[in-house]
Amino acid sequence: MMLHKDSVKAVAAQTASLQSYIRSSEKQQQLYKRTLIVVVISQIFGGAGLAAGITVGALLAQNMLGTDSVTGIPTALFTLGSAGAALLVGRFSQRFGRRTGLAVGFLAGGIGAIGVVIAALMNSILLLFTSLLIYGAGTATNLQARYAGTDLANRAQRAKAISMAMVSTTFGAVAGPNLVDVMGEFAISIGVPALAGPFILAAAAYIVAGLVLFILLRPDPFIVAKAISDAQRTSSNLLLGENSKLLSINRRGIFAGAAVMVLTQFVMLAIMTMTPIHMGHHEHGLNEVGLVIGFHIGAMFLPSLVTGFLVDKIGRTFMAIASAITLFVSGILAAVGPADSMVVLITALALLGLGWNFGLISGTAILVDSTPPSTRAKTQGSVDVLIALSGALGGGLSGMVVAHSSYATLSIAGAVLSLLLIPIVIGAGSTQRRSNKIEITE
């Protein structure tokens, strides 16, 4: 009886708390700002977990099996695990809120990293591959965390929220690889193989990221956003026909947002994957390859705050078109520029990263704009599955294209493919402008 009374009191308290947010836009903005701080903290740790493990995953598999033929398997497993986890994290977030969905995803990634360490100790390939698959959950969660800051953001704040999550991921992603040697020495000191050391860091980082979200992300911004949306829908006097039209428009926006992110991911990974091989064929050393890829990764994340500002101020459609044009220029430059010129290679790969950055932030904003809270997290998870799979497909097909043709052909194909985004986003943008008169304010 006492348990029943306590549960009733808890439900009543939660309802009262939600009502206070529904009635106060000031409280909504306070929670939005607090959510951004929590997301930034978690993403710093999440980025470290992502980068530290990926840096040595292929080397660990190579070392345990004694052959180069398996070096691509860890990346494939990360991707497969990431795709499956994206779907599950999206479903969990839709049902239980961002706090639970993201915390479970990061904790699963941490458990996967622990499994990798144990596999290295036992020299078990089966456990290694299974653990790498689970470790991919951290990758998916790291990407989906960018949505958490947008739940209570108004339309003019959403891209900024996305960009803050991406920039904070960069801090961890830069720190992780730089700690590889330190963690290797630490691993040896406790009797663990050196290459498993970074996965100790990954496990700790992912678990801390999950705990930060689970403990601090209260009240859950997604649950609050759904309560606000439900209250507004109840008080709305829109006609059924208008609601049906809005639903159709939202589907078109979802397609446009997904297309931007999926195509930019495909083009970026296809060209990036084969650039080190292309450079090796033209006698560039590992230091030069590292420099080019370093500029590329920097361009993927560091401009995020500026990109977020531009997406919010200039518009989603404009920045999505800018993504397509930037990727096109990058592909053409990579194809026709002198292969022995470091300036050309750095410029081409930096533009490739920048075009991806424009596409991910504008595409995410379009997707959030086009989904009501009642289906938002589930839809976001499904789209992130497509993003992960498109990246894997782009990376896989790129090798076949270069093997049967050339790096120039691959780059030109990527450039032309990126231009498909322009008619897609223009069509969705014009439809969205026609819908503004009937749009329900979230």
pLDDT confidence of residue 246: 46
pLDDT of residue 438: 40
What is the 8-class DSSP label of residue 436?
Answer: G
- 145 and 44 co-located in one domain: yes
DSSP secondary structure string for all residues of 28-96: HHHHHHHHHHHHHHHHHHHHHHHHHHHHHHHHHHHHHHT-GGGTTHHHHHHHHHHHHHHHHHHHHHHHH
Residue type, 326: T
Alpha carbon dihedral 48, 49, 50, 51, in 10-degree steps, equals: 50
The Cα 355–Cα 333 span in angstroms is: 13
Whether 3 is covered by a domain: the verdict is no
Shared domain check, 325 and 208 = no
Reported as half-sphere exposure (CB side, CA atoms, 13 A), residue 438 has a value of: 18
Determine the structural domain holding residue 247 and report its residue range: 236-438
Q: Decide which of 207, 228, 249 is a domain's last residue.
A: 228
pLDDT computed for residue 169 by the predictor: 82
Nearest-CA neighbor of 117 among 185, 207, 198? 198
Same-domain status, 218 and 252: no
Tell me the whole-structure pTM to 2 decimals.
0.82
* CA-wise closest residue to 365 among 353, 380, 381: 380
- The CATH number that applies at residue 49 is 1.20.1250.20
pLDDT number for residue 58 = 66
360 and 220, same structural domain? no
Instruction: Report the C-alpha gap between 104 and 106 in whole angstroms.
Output: 6
User: Considering the domain boundaries, does residue 270 fall inside one?
Assistant: yes
Of the three residues 228, 258, 283, the one that is the final residue of a domain is 228
H/E stretch holding 220 reads: none
Task: Please check whether residue 10 lies inside any domain of the structure.
Answer: no
Domain end: 183, 200, 228, which one? Answer: 228
Question: Which pLDDT does position 11 carry in this prediction?
Answer: 46
pLDDT in tens, the chain (442 residues): 554 554 445 445 566 677 888 888 888 889 999 999 999 999 999 888 877 666 677 677 777 877 655 555 676 777 788 888 999 999 999 999 999 999 999 999 999 999 999 999 998 988 988 998 899 899 889 889 989 889 988 888 899 899 988 888 877 777 776 677 788 889 999 999 888 888 999 999 999 999 999 999 989 999 998 888 888 777 654 444 444 444 444 788 999 999 999 999 999 988 988 888 888 888 888 678 878 877 887 888 889 999 999 999 999 999 999 999 999 999 999 999 998 899 999 999 999 999 999 999 999 999 999 998 888 899 999 999 999 889 888 877 888 888 888 999 999 999 999 999 999 999 876 555 554 444 444 4
What pLDDT, on the 0 to 100 scale, is given for residue 240?
47
Task: Based on the fold, state whether residues 349 and 209 are members of the same structural domain.
Answer: no
Same domain assignment for residues 202 and 336: no
SS3 of residue 227 by DSSP:
helix
Same-domain pairing of 175 and 252 = no
User: What is the number of structural domains in the chain?
Assistant: 2
